[in-house]
Amino acid sequence: MAASGRSREERWSLAGKTALVTGGSKGIGRAIVEELAGFGVRVHTCARSDADLQECLRRWGADARLARVTASACDVAVRGDRERLVARAREELGGRLDILVNNAGQTMFRAATETTAEDYARLMATNLESSFHLAQLAHPLLLEAVAAASGGDASTSCIVNISSIGGFVSYPTLSVYSATKGAMNQLTRSLAVEWAKDKVRVNCVAPGGVRTDIANSSGLKLDPEVSLKLAEAEMARVPMHRIGEPEEIASLVAFLCMPAASYITGQVICADGGRTIAA
Ligand SMILES: NC(=O)c1ccc[n+]([C@@H]2O[C@H](COP(=O)([O-])OP(=O)(O)OC[C@H]3O[C@@H](n4cnc5c(N)ncnc54)[C@H](OP(=O)(O)O)[C@@H]3O)[C@@H](O)[C@H]2O)c1
């Protein structure tokens, strides 16, 4: 038995928890949904494409651990959609929410001089405003989960934001994307301090390059040769000399949600093969 009075099994368990994970139909979000559900979490997720969600639900339905995942279409850039999403998640999760993962996001490669007011507003709404507003909407539900937990368990409720190493290092043509991610890092620290009294932990995972189709999902038409050159240049700067896999981000998210991480809040943890600490 640990000093906290919880056994090792309890500290490393998410059984019986509920979670809302945004952007769970592809890439990192899908890996997070599958990792949390694999630990016994009841997960609700969303994406803009209902067809992609239905395809995920069909696949998940064939696996006993994932069959309880539910989903609804939502554009997190739209305020009304966010309100409907949280109401739907609450309903699907039996009125209880322990975990919010703000993962849905898009990228944009555009020179600052060519970025329009619409580009700027769209990316801010998708990556940053959505994370703030969903945290606001989830807060009362997270408080209810704390109150319902036996002994007001301090590790029960948490938020994990998915930012990017772009919030730490600067890439040409990624100024607005990086600004959204740098702001998510600071939002994490600010909410962690503000909500510590509520026993809601707030942390952030900042991935480096991860093998997903984010450029395509973000509506970018990249020249394959240019993309390859950019990827090679980036990998040359990663001490581990490889790209990350979505599962390698999902495992860190799951850890941050566990009682084992009960003294960790306000942290932004890079999962980047060492990219941000290399000379
Ligand atoms: N891949 C990387 O190298 C990398 C590196 C650092 C950080 N990240 C961050 O990791 C997160 C996930 O990225 P990913 O690489 O997994 O991207 P992805 O493969 O494109 O998946 C993004 C997911 O979010 C959903 N989504 C996108 N825009 C949305 C919106 N407006 N409303 C609701 N859902 C939306 C997508 O579905 P729909 O398209 O159907 O909406 C999809 O399910 C993002 O926040 C990204 O910035 C990624």
Strand partners for 45: 21, 71
The strand order across the sheet containing 200-207 reads: 70-73, 42-47, 18-22, 99-102, 157-162, 200-207, 268-271
Q: How far is the CA of 75 from the centre of ligand 1 (A)?
A: 12
Distance CA 174, CA 172 (A): 6
**Whether residue 47 has its Cβ less than 6 Å from ligand 1:** yes
Q: Does the C-beta of 213 come closer than 6 Å to ligand 1? A: yes
Whole-model pTM over 0.95: yes
Residues (pLDDT < 50) of the chain are 152
Q: Is the CB of 83 under 6 A from ligand 1?
A: no
What is the position in ligand 1's atom list of the atom closest to the CA of 126?
31
Closest C-alpha to 17, from 243, 258, 273: 258
Contact 150, 192 (CB under 8 A): no
CA dihedral 203, 250, 70, 181 (to 10 degrees): 50
Structural domains of the chain sorted by starting position, each given as residue range(s) with its CATH number in brackets: 9-270 (3.40.50.720)
Q: Fill in the amino acid letter for 54.
A: Q
Task: Report angle CA 188, 252, 197 to the nearest 5 degrees.
Answer: 35
pLDDT value at position 220?
85
Which DSSP category does 92 fall into? H
Ligand 1 atom nearest residue 213's Cα: 19
* Centre of ligand 1 from the C-alpha of residue 2, in Å: 38
Beta-carbon contacts of residue 192 (< 8 Å; ≥ 6 apart): 201, 202, 203, 265, 266, 267
Determine the residue type at 196.
A
pLDDT of residue 189: 98
Radius of gyration of the chain (CA): 18
Q: How many CA atoms lie within 13 A of 101 on its CB side?
A: 34
Q: Is 209 in the pocket of ligand 1 (CB under 6 A)?
A: yes
Q: For atom 47 of ligand 1, which residue has the closest CA?
A: 105
Cβ atoms of residues 144 and 155 within 8 Å: no
CB of residue 273 inside a 6 A radius of ligand 1:
no
Give the ligand 1 atom nearest the CA of 29.
Answer: 16
Q: Is 217 in the pocket of ligand 1 (CB under 6 A)?
A: yes
Atom 41, ligand 1: residue with shortest CA distance = 48
How far is the C-alpha of 192 from the C-alpha of 200, rounded, in Å? Answer: 7
What is the CA(10)–ligand 1 centre distance, in A? 32
For residue 200 the two structure tokens come to: 């809601």
Query: Ligand 1 center to residue 214 CA distance, Å?
Result: 6
26 lines ligand 1 (CB under 6 A): yes
Cβ density class 181-207: b for 16+ within 10 Å, e for less: bbbbbebbbebbeebeeebbbbbbbbb
Residue 157 vs residues 136, 184, 234: alpha-carbon distances, Å: 14, 19, 36
Q: Which residue's alpha carbon is nearest to atom 34 within ligand 1?
A: 47
Task: Confirm whether 120 is a catalytic residue.
Answer: no
Q: What is the largest CA-CA distance in the chain?
A: 59
Q: How many CB atoms lie within 10 A of CB 233?
A: 9
**Which atom from ligand 1 is nearest to the alpha carbon of 165?**
6
